[in-house]
Structure 1
Amino acid sequence: MIFNKETAEKTAELLLQINAIKLNPSSPFLWASGWNSPIYCDNRLTLSFPAIRNYIRDQFVKQIL
């Protein structure tokens, strides 16, 4: 469920900027759970981008509080 469309769009934009989102429908990613998915989001990449990481963190905090 999307609580804030602007936040969702901004987060997606930032993740795309750092190439954290990968799409590969012809050869899906195999997750540790055994599931196949055409999309993968490598959130570890945000560790190299403190401003992006902080933005995402702050948005999570806003949703929780």
Structure 2
Amino acid sequence: MTAARTIPAAEDLTYGQAKGWNCVWCGCRLDKGAVSVGWACGREGDLDLDCEVFACPACGKGGPS
């Protein structure tokens, strides 16, 4: 069994990662087979930055880091 990966803080994500267009870990463009891996949480002042994040099939199954 592989260790669970840590989801980066929302403020550390690129725009594409925060929008679900890119893998949260490797940054590749997501087309087919994207896997929801949870929520990235964060705040900037009073602004809530929480967003659902996705991974490519390889990273979602514990592939490249």
Decide: shared fold, TM above 0.5: no
Q: Which has the higher strand share?
A: 2
Higher helix fraction: Structure 1 or Structure 2?
A: 1
User: The TM-score by the shorter chain falls in which range?
Assistant: under 0.3
With the length of structure 1 as denominator, give the TM-score of the two structures: 0.24
Structure with bigger gyration radius? 1
